[in-house]
Structure 1
Amino acid sequence: MSSDTPRLGAGLVADTLAAEGITHVFGLPGTTVMELIDALGEHGTVRYLSTRHEQVAGFMADGFSRAGGLGVCLASRGPGAANLAIAVQNAHDESVPLLALIGQVPRSITHRRSFEDMDVVSAFRPMCKWAVEITEPDRIPELLQRAVRTAVGGRPGPVVVSLPLDVLQAPAHASIGPRVRTYPPAPDPAGIAEAARLLAGARRPAVIVGGGGAGDPEAVLALAETAGAPVVSTWLRKNALPGGHPAFLGSLGYGAHDVTDQLVRDADVVVALGCRFSEFTTKRWTLLPPAAKLVHADVDPEELGRVHPPAVGLVSDAAAAARALTRALTPLIAADRARAASRTARRVALRKAFEEAAALPVTPASEGTVSSSALVRAVQGLADRDGVVLVQDVHTFGPWVQRYVHVERPRSYYGSAGGAMAWGFPAAMGMALARPGERMVTLSGDGSFWMVAQDFETCVREGIDVVTVVVNNHAYGNTRDRQRFAHDGRYHGVFLGNPDFAEYARILGGHGIRVTSDAELGPAIEEALAQEGPCIVDVVQDRMEGLPSGLTPPRAR
């Protein structure tokens, strides 16, 4: 677009988004964004969808980003912006790229406590990579394109852009620049050589792959095979590697098997690829042995040494570091075949122990309810099914998935490690729009789902074919289990009164199935997948159904 062609600011925002490859914007109408919504509607390239709550719009953008592309959400000033905060914070915690556009009061009435006025930049700065207010219409393309590059570049994360109403309404004369993406950094050769030397001399090596290293399982597995090392993923990154690979020993974090934790505790050299050593992954930073040598690769130099000082810190794309380390390690391993054979034998024994621990126990169900073991079998069937993507919310059933569900296909499982309840259902909505050829199936607790259940109507209205399995135990189950173990069974504020979620789905124009026995579960899942349009499968469990046997909640500290 020529800079000599006059364009209102709102239209220039729409043009810039289209030039950056944005295809969807999720939001809620409001006074300060009506010009922008109108411009998006007239543009035709970028699809705008209204939700019933800004939190849902933010989580949809998050899910869209995880599944492919950059997710964009939109909210009006003040309360609308505040409603987006939970999604922005969660994306920041999980390094998910996201662009949040927030309408702002006109510049002429700021700092007067005008209606719904809010200092957007100051409010969001602590929870995003960058927050900026565009105060000149001619700078819209420059700053908006910079916002996109910032969100997706380096360590990804959310960026918040404040757009005053008068800027959106004003004429602008500005050119849209080219779409620019930077390549991730490669590791330093001297650092790779030192890392290879450490790893070649290890007797009990371990590889940890996080979200930053989950995009190239072949590179990670090649390193693990060359080193004869077991490899584990960080919490809720189960699909970083194929679950059946002999080098993979599960995911760390809450619900991990003892053998998975212990192989890290016993390690003398740990290679960490794109991981930030979060609290749950590391059992509150107690997992890595102090004497172990750490090789840590991450695109963000601030992560190197934030928690554990590395013997070798590599500012690098995780997959590039894995490939370079494999090349450097290969001749060193060949020179000491006895050590290599010993490490491989150790890994084989560990994998056998892991497979034994991961065998699903049988749990009985009380009358009129579904057992957790039956639900695991049903979820495993979904995980094994081509074209199905599992999206796991924050719910009591999560540790069962962590322990007993195995994921083979890449990009077929997503879980939120940020802790935000209600993420799963809206994220699956965004993923369904990003990958329309696949069927998204959400696993939600009743507490999480009911926070965002109103947007099942959005699924019906917009034709978003999401299957939502509601694990319905009539409780905030995670908190209930903490009260069971830490407060001697004194239950306060954790039991819920729920509707028939299947009937609720039908009222809103979707499909609903209620399941009250193990025998009904398999046919109900098949029926849900056969439907066109959104569906809720209401899986009724006993209100005390909770954690797998032998697992207790982490203590509050």
Structure 2
Amino acid sequence: MSDRPRRGADLVVECLAVEGVTHVVGLPGTTVMDLIDALAQQDAVRYLSTRHEQVAGFMADGFSRAGGPLGVCLASRGPGAANLSIAVQNAHDESIPMLVLIGQVPGSITERRSFEEMDVVSTFRPLCKWAVEIHQPDRIPELLQRAVRTAVGGRPGPVVVSLPLDVLQAAAAAPPAPRVRIHPPAPDPAGVAEAARLLATAERPVIIVGGGGAGGAQAHLALAEAAGAPIVTTWLRKNTLPNSHPAFLGSLGYGAHELSDQLVRDADVIVALGCRFSEFTTKRWTIVPPAANLVHVDIDVGELGRIYPPRVGLVSDATAAAGVLASALAPLVAADPARAAQRAARREALRKNYDEVAALPEAPPAAAAVTSAALTLAVQQLADRDGVVLVQDVHTFGPWVQRHVGFDRPRSYYGAAGGAMAWGFPAAMGMALARPDERVVALSGDGSFWMVAQDFETSVREQIPVINLIVNNSAYGNTRDRQRFAHDERYLGVFLGNPDFAAFARLLGGYGARVTSDTGLLPAIEEALTHRGPSIVDVVQDQMEGLPPGLTPLAAR
């Protein structure tokens, strides 16, 4: 540290270090230069610059999502803040904790429409869990601690903190506040007892595990075993449970097998753990039967009854509730062995059917480009490989993963359920920073990747060894398929002109391979895995390659 007085910017960085923050990702700008200067004068928190603020936001999302300390991003006022907004909204929709620091014009010139002035709090309030502007340097410890607690507590989400330039530059004497975390709530015993009675008498129970149940596979499966019930996950949360377990019967949502959807349609009791009944998971709110008894568990009381009124609503951590409910259910099930045997036999038969429909597809004997069936087989090999983390962007190939790729290793697969294109590659960079001992593979469409391609340079410069599998069909595949099925094949604005992505990777100093046939796919992936730096495997497909056979876009139905 220099001999200069301690500033508000220095205090912000000290507070971040106390909270366990290890990385801040952002873009330089006038109102955050003092903050970046403070980061430059210490070693506890590493700062990285990206080429676009949206990428910084997605990297912070991925860092948090992968189990690292809290992901933090920063941007300057006005346009910089606006560029972050997509990442903030996406994190809010997916309940991802993230701290967003935005530089603001000094208080002495607010409300004069000064250069790039923006009302940060009003702009971001609908997009995040909480937004606040700090007006006195001595309140930095209090409000930053509250911001972090809000981001990680209860239903997680992004918190936006606006930092005026004069506050960052002012002298600051206050010490950082100590780190504080709030323990999640446990379920009400009376509610647990009522839920156990419902499950004990059910004939066709089903358990749905959402993102709020992440990390609780053992408890969720114990509940499924106690109830003799099949268990499914919400859309793109397939990795929440080991897919080889006999109770697992798929993931709901776009691309789901009809068998998985039908389990919910036929259910007389539904236990939803950390599930918010989203549009895609419920096929636009059509698969949950009105007559079913619903046991809904969520840490956020606002989710209970927001879509479907529950018979039993439990405000609780989903994993804690599953464990307690399994214990309460066991003696009730033991008292009725005939019903338990009937449910177990039903589930066993359903699992056999699921194994048949979810089997890996057979690649055609010859094709002019890489087929999705061959790519699915390659992705399954990656999913089975220790030390590999798969990150799936929004692209047409996604339903192939949903239907046919199985995951057993915990925390090895992450999908973008918020809908923001271009999330995959930046999120994968954040995950690679959080888990440096693992190889992170980003599976992106060409449309998504090209939105953030400039930050391949960031991955090279900072040596973030993400492997990018780019599914290159020269199209915005999802919208192309909507035009195919819902607009009589009137194609407009959906076909693209792409470069050689492998040559692009080499131009920026990374490894690149271009694959144009099924036989070349696995060797190219293996070669990329041997390189410790960033890679691109350009997987060239036919321009009309798209959804699995028999599947149509949800929006076209």
Q: Which range, TM-score by smaller chain? A: over 0.9
Deviation at 1:175, TM superposition (A): 1.9
Residue 470 (structure 1) aligned with residue 470 (structure 2): yes
The residue that corresponds to 1:45 in the other structure is 44
Deviation at 1:173, TM superposition (A): 1.6
The SS at the match of 1:132 is: strand
Matched to 1:31, the amino acid is T
Q: Distance in 2 between matches of 1:501 and 1:532?
A: 19
| Residue 35 to residue 412, structure 1, CA distance change in 2 (3 Å) | same
CA contact (8 A) 2:463 2:534 kept: yes
Deviation at 1:363, TM superposition (A): 4.7
The residue that corresponds to 1:276 in the other structure is 276
CA displacement 1:61-103 (0-9 Å, x = unmatched): 0000001221000000000000000000000000000000000
CA displacement 1:407-466 (0-9 Å, x = unmatched): 010000000100000000000000000010100001000000000000000000001000
The residue that corresponds to 2:15 in the other structure is 16
CA displacement 1:528-553 (0-9 Å, x = unmatched): 00012000000000000000000000
Deviation at 1:172, TM superposition (A): 1.2
CA contact (8 A) 1:187 1:316 kept: yes
The residue that corresponds to 2:116 in the other structure is 116
CA contact (8 A) 2:502 2:511 kept: yes
Q: Distance in 2 between matches of 1:182 and 1:63?
A: 23
Deviation at 1:359, TM superposition (A): 1.8
Q: Distance in 1 between matches of 2:388 and 2:515?
A: 21
Q: Distance in 1 between matches of 2:281 and 2:220?
A: 19
The residue that corresponds to 1:285 in the other structure is 285
Q: Distance in 2 between matches of 1:261 and 1:376?
A: 22
Residue 479 (structure 1) aligned with residue 479 (structure 2): yes
The residue that corresponds to 2:252 in the other structure is 252
Deviation at 1:368, TM superposition (A): 3.8
Q: How does 1:228-267 map to 2 (within 5 A)?
A: 228-267=228-267
> With structure 1 as the length reference, what TM-score do the two structures score?
0.98
Matched to 2:395, the amino acid is H
Q: Distance in 2 between matches of 1:137 and 1:46?
A: 20
CA contact (8 A) 1:91 1:157 kept: yes
The residue that corresponds to 1:35 in the other structure is 34
The residue that corresponds to 2:405 in the other structure is 405
CA contact (8 A) 1:6 1:173 kept: no
| Residue 443 to residue 540, structure 1, CA distance change in 2 (3 Å) | same
Deviation at 1:360, TM superposition (A): 2.7
Q: Distance in 1 between matches of 2:316 and 2:216?
A: 14
The residue that corresponds to 1:374 in the other structure is 374
The residue that corresponds to 2:75 in the other structure is 75
Deviation at 1:520, TM superposition (A): 0.3
Deviation at 1:527, TM superposition (A): 0.2
CA contact (8 A) 1:63 1:427 kept: yes
CA contact (8 A) 1:365 1:371 kept: no
Q: Distance in 2 between matches of 1:301 and 1:94?
A: 17
Matched to 2:244, the amino acid is G
The residue that corresponds to 1:192 in the other structure is 192
The residue that corresponds to 2:303 in the other structure is 303
Matched to 2:96, the amino acid is V
Deviation at 1:215, TM superposition (A): 1.2
The SS at the match of 2:529 is: helix
> With structure 2 as the length reference, what TM-score do the two structures score?
0.98
Residue 425 (structure 1) aligned with residue 434 (structure 2): no
RMSD: 1.0
CA contact (8 A) 2:361 2:404 kept: no
Deviation at 1:134, TM superposition (A): 0.3
Deviation at 1:365, TM superposition (A): 7.8
Matched to 1:155, the amino acid is R
CA displacement 1:239-264 (0-9 Å, x = unmatched): 01001000000100000001100011
Residue 536 (structure 1) aligned with residue 540 (structure 2): no
CA contact (8 A) 2:298 2:318 kept: yes
Q: Distance in 2 between matches of 1:354 and 1:367?
A: 29
Q: How does 1:211-222 map to 2 (within 5 A)?
A: 211-222=211-222
Matched to 1:376, the amino acid is T
CA displacement 1:453-490 (0-9 Å, x = unmatched): 00000000001000000000000000000000001111
Deviation at 1:43, TM superposition (A): 1.5
CA contact (8 A) 2:11 2:175 kept: no
Deviation at 1:367, TM superposition (A): 4.8
**Which aligned runs of 4 or more in structure 1 are off by greater than 2 angstroms?**
360-368
Q: Distance in 2 between matches of 1:322 and 1:328?
A: 10
Aligned length: 553
CA contact (8 A) 1:185 1:317 kept: yes
The residue that corresponds to 2:359 in the other structure is 359
Matched to 1:404, the amino acid is H
Residue 488 (structure 1) aligned with residue 488 (structure 2): yes
Identity of aligned residues (%): 78
